[in-house]
Amino acid sequence: MNSQALTEQEFAAIDTATGSAHGLPNRFYTSAEAAQLERDQVLARTWVCVGFASELAPASARPVDLLGLPLVLVKDKDDTMRVFHNVCRHRGHKLVPEACSFQGAIRCPYHSWTYGFDGALRGTPHIGGHGVHDTPEFDRATRPLMQVRSEVWMDLVFVNLSGDAATFADYIRPLEVRWSEFLGVDGLNEARVASNDERMELTLNCNWKLAVENYCESYHLPWVHPGLNSYSRIEDHYNIVAGDWGAGQGTKFFEFSERAGIELQRFSAWPEDKLKIAEYIALFPNVLLGLQNDHIFVMLLLPSTHARTGAVVLRGRAGRQRSQGGRAKDHGGRLARGLPGRRWCL
């Protein structure tokens, strides 16, 4: 048994009534060994978000580090997204060290092996000696890049590292069913990524789970976010305990647009008697979502170590909205709780 794993006693202390339950032991927030166990035994076995598809132009790539595991997102010339282990099949060199575009192939900087956007090994210069680029003893077809199972949903790129998780449709269905109460069967299809995006990279000096836990509760609002608490009051919030797939909070009385004097197009199926309701759900493990009647925002957490979380800040700008008093207001930076996010509008 791995020394970092939960003991039976620790699990029993967690899996009990809330009033007497304990949280995870400290090592799951402070130990590199526990983080590796978590990556291999928890994150790898489900669907983890690793980026935004719209960040990549056709024929480009973007590397991602997930708790020490190097991955690379690749978009081909036809806009098809794939994810690979970011490792050359020759000597294990990191294939793509930074975001880049390609002319026609992915080239390893070490020995110049080249791969197609589909991961197939295309070129092996001098493999049979100087000027000999092919040899019958080596079959290129046996050495493609190692592809990772992936899906794109609402511009978010998800991967399943183990390759044996339930289908992505099964993974995302509980959230879609819950929010069909507000959106109807296919209401999310009405949303689009807001224009004039801004990208910012931050580093959160904490374990990624602390950011998730903070997002799931409203207890801190009056003291940490008094402005937010003025139009999304703590007394109007309710807890969301959704099971294995997610958790979070909602409010029965959200009125930011009215306070700010702006009017955005609403989701067409949103019920009139639920216009004040908003929900904020952590889609386990690392996606934070917020839904109001006129927009949805997404926040992505990318853990790089046990004590550091890469925060990709993507702030969608819906443009300049006309205030009720006639003065133009730019609300492009409106994202909740200062965490990384991208906003969708209608």
pLDDT of residue 138: 82
pLDDT of residue 312: 64
CATH superfamily, domain 49-160, is Rieske [2Fe-2S] iron-sulphur domain (2.102.10.10)
The 3-state DSSP composition of the chain as helix, strand, coil percent (nearest 5) reads 25, 30, 45
pLDDT of residue 267: 87
pLDDT of residue 30: 96
pLDDT of residue 194: 62
Do the beta carbons of residue 23 and residue 14 sit within 8 Å?
A: yes
Distance spanning both ends of the chain, measured CA to CA: 50
pLDDT of residue 296: 84
Give 10-residue mean pLDDT values along the chain (346 residues): 85 92 95 95 97 93 95 96 97 94 91 94 85 83 96 94 97 96 86 61 90 92 90 92 94 80 82 94 94 86 93 44 34 32 48
pLDDT of residue 318: 27
Q: How far apart are CA 37 and CA 144, in angstroms?
A: 28
What's this model's pTM, rounded to 2 decimal places?
0.87
- Dig out the tokens for 33 from the structure: 């060994």
Residue 221 DSSP symbol: H
Q: How many CA atoms lie within 13 A of 46 on its CB side?
A: 17
pLDDT of residue 177: 95
Do the beta carbons of residue 43 and residue 67 sit within 8 Å?
A: yes
Radius of gyration of the chain, Cα coordinates, nearest whole angstrom: 23
Starting at the edge strand found earlier in the chain, the sheet holding 106-107 runs: 106-107, 114-115, 121-123
pLDDT of residue 1: 57
Domain range summary for the chain, segments of one domain joined by +? 1-30, 49-160, 168-345
pLDDT of residue 231: 85
